């Protein structure tokens, strides 16, 4: 196959996550090529090799030893966009995923509820806000992904101790958030909405049992509870993370999630929220959306078939 014959390039860094998508693309005869970011290069002067690119890069690449994948992905997409290529979940969407503080600002602009958020690069700078900040709070990385580097702290003093004992939490970007912990029923869990092409694909409840790694990929959180093939180090939860179809998701939550996807330029997204008596509280926007086939099956379809339908429709628009 020559480059002139290509319909699609999939930009990625985690081949295990991509196997279900690649399988459907191959079965349906889509002319595609993977672009693996782990060790890669591109000539700035080269024309795009396909009319359509699909970004599947993840902010969590650094936990797998692939820190350099993220800046290369962003540079590649900006280069392609300057040359007129169509990049799904392109540089704007990816930049939003890389910045939890930008996500918080977007929620505020859209009039949606989100947790109170403090951004800092030195723990001593937090002290002036400590008395008025709502504790307990979650420590999160600005560049998140798969629940890595997340901790619950009860006070400013505990935050200081944590960062003194675990200086690696600052890596790779040396920027952290302190975020209000929104109360919720742990037996009900949080809600994750998967968005595809401006529409709700499905919603699910996620019961974490104390885990911060809520990645829906069956590689990271297997359906049968077997050992996960995940590079994110954390204390094992009391029980495996549970994923449940959620057909009763509120209209307010769906409309809020769709508005986030539109405003953020997200073609595909996984948006997480907490349902409260006062309405949904949104707290995480994921552009690299790992779909969970058993959940979609409860709604009567294969999610990867739907993604390929979307990709082919976008390809047809380009002529």
Sorted by where each begins, the domain ranges of the chain are 3-96+309-317, 117-180, 184-301
d(CA 296, CA 106): 28
Task: Give residue for tokens 């960062």.
Answer: 163
Q: Determine the topology of domain 184-301 in CATH.
A: D-amino Acid Aminotransferase; Chain A, domain 1 (3.30.470)
Whether CATH 3.40.50.720 fits 117-180: no
A 10 A CB-CB count for 125 gives 11
d(CA 100, CA 176): 9
243 CB contacts (<8 Å, ≥6 apart)?
Answer: 204, 205, 206, 216, 221, 223, 292, 294, 295
pLDDT, position 71: 96
- The CATH number that domain 3-96+309-317 falls under is 3.40.50.20
pLDDT, position 162: 96
Q: Are 201 and 247 in contact (CB under 8 A)?
A: no
pLDDT, position 164: 97
In this prediction the pTM is 0.90
Residues (pLDDT < 70) of the chain are 1-4, 146, 212-238
């Amino acid at each position: 196959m020559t480059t002139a014959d290509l319909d699609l390039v999939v930009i990625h860094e985690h081949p295990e996550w991509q196997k279900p998508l690649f399988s459907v693309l191959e079965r349906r005869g889509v002319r595609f090529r993977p672009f693996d970011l782990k060790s890669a290069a591109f000539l700035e002067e080269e024309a795009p090799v396909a009319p359509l690119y699909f970004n599947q890069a993840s902010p969590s690449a650094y936990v797998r030893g692939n820190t350099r994948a993220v800046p290369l992905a962003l540079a590649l997409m900006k280069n392609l966009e300057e040359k007129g290529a169509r990049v799904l979940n392109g540089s704007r969407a990816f930049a939003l995923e890389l910045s939890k503080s930008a996500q918080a600002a977007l929620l505020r602009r859209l009039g949606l509820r989100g947790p109170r958020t403090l951004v800092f690069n030195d723990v001593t700078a937090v002290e002036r806000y400590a008395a008025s900040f709502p504790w307990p709070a979650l420590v999160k990385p600005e560049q998140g992904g798969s629940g890595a580097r997340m901790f619950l702290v009860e006070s400013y003093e505990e935050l200081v101790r944590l960062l003194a004992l675990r200086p690696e939490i600052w890596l790779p970007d040396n920027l952290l958030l302190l975020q209000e912990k929104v109360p919720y029923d742990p037996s009900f869990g949080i809600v994750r909405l998967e968005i595809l092409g401006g529409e709700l694909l499905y919603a699910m409840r996620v019961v974490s049992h104390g885990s911060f790694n809520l990645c829906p990929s069956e590689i990271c959180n297997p359906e049968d509870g077997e050992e996960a093939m995940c590079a994110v180090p954390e204390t094992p939860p009391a029980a495996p993370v549970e994923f449940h179809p959620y057909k009763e998701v509120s209209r307010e939550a769906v409309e809020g999630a769709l508005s986030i996807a539109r405003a953020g330029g997200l073609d595909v997204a996984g948006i997480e929220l907490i349902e409260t008596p006062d309405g949904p509280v949104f707290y995480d926007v994921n552009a690299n959306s790992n779909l969970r086939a058993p959940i979609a099956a409860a709604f009567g379809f294969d999610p990867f078939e739907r993604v390929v339908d979307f990709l082919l429709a976008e390809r047809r628009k380009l002529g």
